[in-house]
A and B are shown apart, each in its own frame.
Chain A
Amino acid sequence: MNLATAKVWAGALCVFACYSFLWKENRFFRVFQNLYVGLAAGYSLVVNFNNVRRQAWGPLTTKGDIWVIIPMIFGIMLFARLFRKYAWIARYPMAFLMGLGSALSMKAIESDFVRQIQASLISWKGVGLGGTLNNLMLSLGTALALVYFFFTFKPNVVSNAAGRVGRWVLMLCFGAAFGSAVQGRLSLLISQMQFMLKDWLHLIS
């Protein structure tokens, strides 16, 4: 048995182990579950180690880029969390990271807020009846879903009714998300079956 064939057989074994969970919880499944977790952790460790070596250690030692020392020190400081006595040291790089993250996400004001409001302000008249209905649903649906989240004034009959319709709009959205989730899970099953039938059993080309 060559290496390629051994890989396929190992893959098939993994598929059997994972799907055996559908029959019942068993030791065979747990062994492969732990194997998966271990492999993922090992892979992540190696990739991130190489990342540090390439982006920080390499430029420092080959090009003499001393500026990369700063993020390297910040990175090492994060490990202080492992020692109770020096855990406070990790707060400084953490604070820096939080500040950086907050600053970067400020761009969402334009991309997720302003541009989305602009996109919602459309003419109701669309191309044909379907287009008009689509535009109406977009505008009214957005407005009604927002009404559902109004908590700052005393509700009345109109706001209650609008909020209720808004809730239906949200439910339709959740339904679409659920349908898509089912579609995604089914894709995973199909992909595994394609592997089993094609690469392992050679029943399809």
Chain B
Amino acid sequence: MNALKWFGDLDKRWLYLLLLLVVVFPLLRPLGIPIDVTASTSQFIAAVDKLAPGDRMLLVFDYSIGGGPDVDPQAQVVLAHALSRGVRVVEVAFVDTGLNYAVKTVELWESKGKVYGTDIICLGYATGVETAISAFAQNISAVFPTDVRGKPIGSYPIMQGLKTAADFKLITEFATGIPGPAEWIRQVVTRFKVPLGCGVVAVMGPQNVPYLQSGQLVGLLGGGLKSAAEYEIAVKMPGAATAAMDAQSLGHLMIVLFVILGNLLFLVERQERRAAKVGGVRA
């Protein structure tokens, strides 16, 4: 009981320090806690595996800087997987900060030998959220007359024959808010019947599961960094997300412990308050 009260009175900064140590330790000394691949991640991988070399996939960077660490590893591994299968990738962003990630990604893959305009292209960013998505789906060149480098998109081999969203074999969208899966399902999946796979920050995961269950999504990476790690393990491309999983597991364990201790303390204090109240009435 005294230990619980000591915990309750503890300066919360000690808890922050403890959490920091718990996170840093496994990064320095990996523990190798096993990672299971969930069904929704397997479905996403299967959707990318279905693509044939030369097929075109749309990759949408709808994420902010704040949520980037949770979603960017997902986008990176999906892109790496698609490119490794010879799939051609068209990148766009409907969130302004997403453009930054898209441009960096293109530069990275160019440095690895992929040809800009043939294997991969970045069309840029369009403002207007859902309206822009709807317009893009109906007529790509009307929303993006030029790519991010200022050249007409029709001048690139990868863009030949691409007129509407229906011309993509698969759309993958990575989001941290609005626009997110709901907007893409409304404006693109419902009308153009294109398979859509989404990756979202962990907090958005549960609310998007119904779309997966209804078949409106072909795959969902709904667990943030954890989903990215699952994908990396499944396609045998371990990266930053896999390396972070030990830290994530230990951090969660500690937070669960804090929640249990906090609730126990709450119950003890409530019992004491009630006892004091009854004692006061009797007196």
Complex Cα gap A118–B210 (Å): 11
Which A residues lie within 8 Å of B234 (CB)? none
Q: How far is the CA of A116 from the CA of B67 in the complex (A)?
A: 28
List residues of B (13-67) whose CB comes within 8 Å of A's CBs.
13, 16, 19-20, 23-24, 27-28, 65-67
Q: Which of A27-35, A78-86, A103-111, A154-162 contacts the other chain?
A: A103-111
CB-defined contacts of B127 to chain A, threshold 8 Å:
48, 51
| Residue A64 at the chain B interface, CB threshold 8 Å | no
Is A186 part of the contact surface with B, judged by Cβ < 8 Å? yes
Write out the residue numbers on chain A whose beta carbons fall within 8 Å of the beta carbon of B224.
180, 183-184, 187
A55-B145, A204-B27 known; A189 vs B203 contact (CB < 8 Å): no
List residues of chain B with CB within 8 A of the CB of A181: 202-203
Q: A22, B189: Cβ atoms under 8 Å?
A: no
B62 CB to nearest A CB, Å: 14
In the assembled complex, the Cα of A56 lies from the Cα of B209 at a distance in Å of 38
* Residue count of chain B within 8 Å CB distance of chain A: 61
In this assembly, does A54 line the interface, its C-beta being within 8 Å of a C-beta of chain B? yes
- Give the number of residue pairs across the A-B interface with Cβ within 8 Å: 147
Interface size class, chain A: 35 or more
Interface of B is mostly: helix
Contact of B216 among A51, A115, A187 (CB under 8 A): A115
Q: Tell me which residues across on chain A come within 8 A of B66, comparing CB atoms.
A: 188
Question: Most B CB atoms within 10 A — which of A47, A58, A100, A116?
Answer: A47
Q: Residues of A at under 8 Å CB distance from B? A: 22-23, 40, 43-44, 47-48, 51, 54-55, 58-59, 63, 100-101, 104-105, 107-108, 110-112, 115-116, 118-119, 138, 173, 176-177, 180-184, 186-194, 197, 203-204
5 contacting pairs across A/B (C-beta < 8 A): A47-B125, A187-B248, A188-B70, A190-B247, A197-B28
